[in-house]
Amino acid sequence: MCGIVGYIGEKNAQEIIVGGLRKLEYRGYDSAGVAVLTKDGLSYEKAKGRLAVLEERLEGNALIGNAGIGHTRWATHGKPSDENAHPHTDAKTKFAVVHNGIIENFLEIKEELIAKGYTFVSETDTEVIAHLLADTYNGDIVATAQKVVGRMRGAYALGIMTEHEPDKLVAVRLASPLIVGVGNGESFIGSDIPAMLEHTRDVYILNEGEMAVLTREGVELFDAQSGEKIEREIFHVDWDLVQAEKGGFDSFMLKEIHDQPQAVRETMGARIHPETKKVVMPELKMSEAELKAIDHIYIVACGTSMHAGLVAKDVIEKLVRVPVEVAIASEFRYRDPIYTPNTLVIVISQSGETADTLAALREAKKSGVKVLAVTNVVGSSVAREADEVVFTWAGPEIAVASTKAYTCQVVALYLFALYYAQVKGTQTDAQIAEITEHMLQLPGKIADILKHTEEIRVFAEGIKDVQSLFFIGRGLDYAVTLEGSLKLKEISYIHSEAYAAGELKHGTLALIEDNVPVIALATQPDIFEKMVSNIVEVKARGAHVLGIALEGNTELAKSVDQVITIPETLPILAPVLTVIPLQMLSYYASLARGNDVDKPRNLAKSVTVE
């Protein structure tokens, strides 16, 4: 995820900013830059690659001054490059801006600015902000920033400075986190606390829609819309650096689980039209005619990404009525797949570097088949080599166990399925809008589930010494049980199996005996009764059953030992919610067994070998 640092004080700004960016390196980035108000005006340097590349460029060419902003970029709009790195400036280099998040309506603003004669040098959404600042400036950077922010839709955090008002920095937050620090004769901006921890422990954590004006004398907070002043007590940070990197959580996995409301929001971002609630996917280069002609889809991926593919299979088949086959990449690459002239291969990979997935992609391309990639990493091999890319925009995932990448993959694939259905006319506008409206509520519902995890923690404590447990479900629920079981195995090392509930009686039921824990997902109304019959089968053999159902379901409780409910949603969207308690279950079980949650034994984050 991108990192923001800002400084205004009496010290060497470049040194403090680059030092702060180094503390944010753990978030992942592909380019970096810094802008400082020097005696010759606003100057900047930026470079693709590690911070060391930027530092090399600054050697002998230092930016001397005591106010500035800096950034580490994790590409979303446009590849990693010097030009796309932040800060971005207006044409006369009077304004500089660093930005995290996504400006959803940047194309509209860009077109408007181009019509006025502005020229753009990068592919980013951020550059529009710099030009818009220049275009709007009226002698007051605070009022100007307020106006500019009023024009923008999306989720973002900004650091802004101008040569016209050298004694001020402006910070704005809408959805993406932003912190401002208060020192002695100096003030700081950071996208995260580690950026400033070395210099101050007194911070304000900006809330949604808040703006901070930083001077050497201190910090003032305002409502970015109304301009009304906000009084807030300073938050004194007593975390150490390692805790601060994890946002105060005790592991990256837990932090990433809690990142999900925001991550899912970003995945949906500009792709759901605010008025029509239709899906827009300007990133797709293929024509509507090409999309309509597709008659068969292979989804190819590994591990968690493959599980996201299983959800997508059901969703695409239901909404578009085109057959989808899900294949494990390590198998697919050595198969002799049967392609039709209009087959589409969808590869899913968080990292975009998984060797088996990449090999499968190359095999498909060699056969002349169109490949669409769903990936989280701009500039990754999968993103570069596929014909089409849908980015998940989940932000970097550091824990080996994939959590937010999965939910964002599922959401990105829903969006693709809906867009595809729109183009093919297999769903009406009203049906699409009903689903997207429910999708927009998912972030809030994930946040609700994360507020109530005590019951799942107690259940996890109870299973920490079991030999084995089972996850059962049907349809979309079955796809999620596979992910729940993988997560549990991966970080708690407890053996578990995910089973299609109706298949148990064909063999596996022999393993059910007294007190074997069974987690039963039952969110799909059309097969609910069948699911209950399968639950009764395991209960009759002594299993202890934890059921997971949608809120309002009073039936499941009659057949299981305990029930956890998740907020109501459309059954088709349930996977995004049911996976959350399962992630928390594996997290708590791993913790209870004293394992390293973030670095499970024998596993690597990115599997770049066959």
Task: Return the active site residues.
Answer: 2, 605
The reply to whether 397 sits near ligand M6R by the rule CB under 6 A is: no
Contact 87, 35 (CB under 8 A): yes
The reply to whether 606 sits near ligand M6R by the rule CB under 6 A is: yes
For 401: left if phi > 0, alpha if psi spans -120 to 50, otherwise beta; the answer is beta
Q: Go through 145-161 and write b for each residue having 16 or more CB atoms within 10 A of its CB, e for each that does not.
A: bbebbeebbbbbbbbbb
If the CB atoms of residues 200 and 349 are measured against ligand M6R, the closer one turns out to be 349
Among 269, 303, 443, 575, binds ligand M6R (CB under 6 A): 303
The reply to whether 349 sits near ligand M6R by the rule CB under 6 A is: yes
The reply to whether 586 sits near ligand M6R by the rule CB under 6 A is: no
What is each CA distance from 474 to 526, 528, 531, 553, in whole angstroms?
10, 9, 7, 17
If the CB atoms of residues 494 and 522 are measured against ligand M6R, the closer one turns out to be 494
The reply to whether 256 sits near ligand M6R by the rule CB under 6 A is: no
Which span sits near ligand M6R by CB under 6 A: 165-173, 254-262, 300-308, 423-431?
300-308
The reply to whether 158 sits near ligand M6R by the rule CB under 6 A is: no
The reply to whether 357 sits near ligand M6R by the rule CB under 6 A is: yes
The reply to whether 490 sits near ligand M6R by the rule CB under 6 A is: yes
- The Cα 31–Cα 47 span in angstroms is 6
The reply to whether 494 sits near ligand M6R by the rule CB under 6 A is: no
Rg over alpha carbons for the chain, rounded to the nearest Å, is 25
The reply to whether 105 sits near ligand M6R by the rule CB under 6 A is: no
Strands of 254-329, DSSP E: 296-301, 324-328
Angle at 415 between CA 355 and CA 290, to 5 degrees: 80
The reply to whether 402 sits near ligand M6R by the rule CB under 6 A is: yes
C-beta atoms surrounding 213 within 10 Å: 19
The reply to whether 607 sits near ligand M6R by the rule CB under 6 A is: yes
Residue 47 CB, nearest distance to ligand M6R (Å)? 26
The reply to whether 401 sits near ligand M6R by the rule CB under 6 A is: yes
Which span sits near ligand M6R by CB under 6 A: 50-58, 91-99, 193-201, 400-408?
400-408
CA neighbor of 66 nearest in space, from 37, 45, 42, 93: 37
Three-state DSSP state, 604: coil
Helix pair angle (442-451, 252-268), 10° resolution? 160
The reply to whether 380 sits near ligand M6R by the rule CB under 6 A is: no
Residue 372 CB, nearest distance to ligand M6R (Å)? 15
- The Cα 541–Cα 518 span in angstroms is 11
Residue 130 CB, nearest distance to ligand M6R (Å)? 34
Residue 589 CB, nearest distance to ligand M6R (Å)? 14
- The Cα 158–Cα 334 span in angstroms is 48
**Which residue number is nearest to ligand M6R in terms of Cβ?**
303
Residues contacting ligand M6R: total by CB under 6 A: 16
Residue 523 CB, nearest distance to ligand M6R (Å)? 22
- The Cα 290–Cα 461 span in angstroms is 52
Name the residues that contact ligand M6R, by CB under 6 A.
Answer: 302-305, 349-351, 354, 357, 400-402, 486, 490, 606-607
